[in-house]
Structure 1
Amino acid sequence: MYEWNKNQPIFLQIRQKIVEMILNENVKSGEALPSVRQLATELSVNPLTVTKAYQSLVDMQIIEKKRGLGMFVMENSQKELLSVEREKFLSDEWPQILKRLESLGIKLKELIKKEAGA
């Protein structure tokens, strides 16, 4: 069973799961996503929650509805998402990581050196 983060709406967590599937190319441009019912059953959530997650991706022009067929990944979605996710990381997550490193007394050069030696 999937563990949900109580501090974030479930539909946003589902959306992020789908974004990661597209970024990792588990689902490629032109391919169908699981049906709303199928994904709702897999994740043990209300189908309306999955619908809300899908709709947010439709609004972002990452996926598209094909009447009678389901949801499909749009052309260039992986490239678009990569750009959006990188920007989000650099503007939101990276500054927090740098603050955490500073509070722990860890120098960025140390991390790079450690990674290069690993």
Structure 2
Amino acid sequence: MEFSANKAIYLQIAEYVCDHILMETWKTNGKVPSVRELAVQLEVNPNTVMRTYDLLQQQEIIANKRGIGFFLTEDSVKKVKSYRKTIFLEEDLPPFFRNIYLLEIGLSELEQRYRQFVEQNFNQNES
């Protein structure tokens, strides 16, 4: 995994974990890689992975079963969506709004492009 310099590594690892949950490569109630396993896989310090897991525990996305390991919670998908939505609305959306304002992009153009994006990227899978 290549890490971006503009965001803390543990947060990027949290995004990586959340992506696996949303893509269902890691299943609800399933065991997630141990701290050491994920650290080796991502070539990071185990303390960095532990910081990620602490964050995800606070968000109730994963739970530690003492002596066994970390597992996804029953409602991990719902919790990931809520966590990611909050980050998007608070951090990503304001600069986006600033740009559409400065570039004078209208809501109708945004809506058209959004529909086109969904059509090209998601609707073709339903055929």
TM-score (norm 2): 0.79
Q: CA deviation at 1:30?
A: 0.5
Structure scoring higher RCO (CA < 8 A, sep ≥ 6) equals 1
Q: Secondary structure at the match of 2:70?
A: strand
Q: Secondary structure at the match of 2:30?
A: coil
Question: 1:1-118 to 2 correspondence within 5 Å?
Answer: 2-116=1-115
Q: 1:94 to 1:80 in 2, by over 3 A?
A: same
Q: Which runs of 4+ in 1 moved over 3 A?
A: 114-118
Residues 60 and 79, structure 2, Cα contact 8 Å, conserved in 1 = no
Query: How many percent of aligned residue pairs carry the same amino acid?
Result: 37
Q: Secondary structure at the match of 2:54?
A: helix
Question: Paired residues, what number?
Answer: 117
Extract unaligned runs of 5+ from structure 1: none
Q: CA deviation at 1:49?
A: 1.1
Q: Secondary structure at the match of 2:98?
A: helix
Q: CA deviation at 1:114?
A: 3.5
**Distance in 1 between the 2:26 and 2:82 partners?**
17
**Distance in 2 between the 1:56 and 1:115 partners?**
32
Q: CA deviation at 1:6?
A: 1.6
RMSD across aligned C-alpha pairs, in angstroms?
Answer: 1.9
Q: CA deviation at 1:115?
A: 4.1
- CA distances 1:27-69 after superposition (whole Å, capped 9, x unpaired): 1220111121221111111111111111221222211112232
Residues 31 and 72, structure 2, Cα contact 8 Å, conserved in 1 = yes
Q: 1:102 to 1:53 in 2, by over 3 A?
A: same
Counterpart position of 2:123: none
Extract unaligned runs of 5+ from structure 2: 121-127
**Distance in 2 between the 1:46 and 1:35 partners?**
13
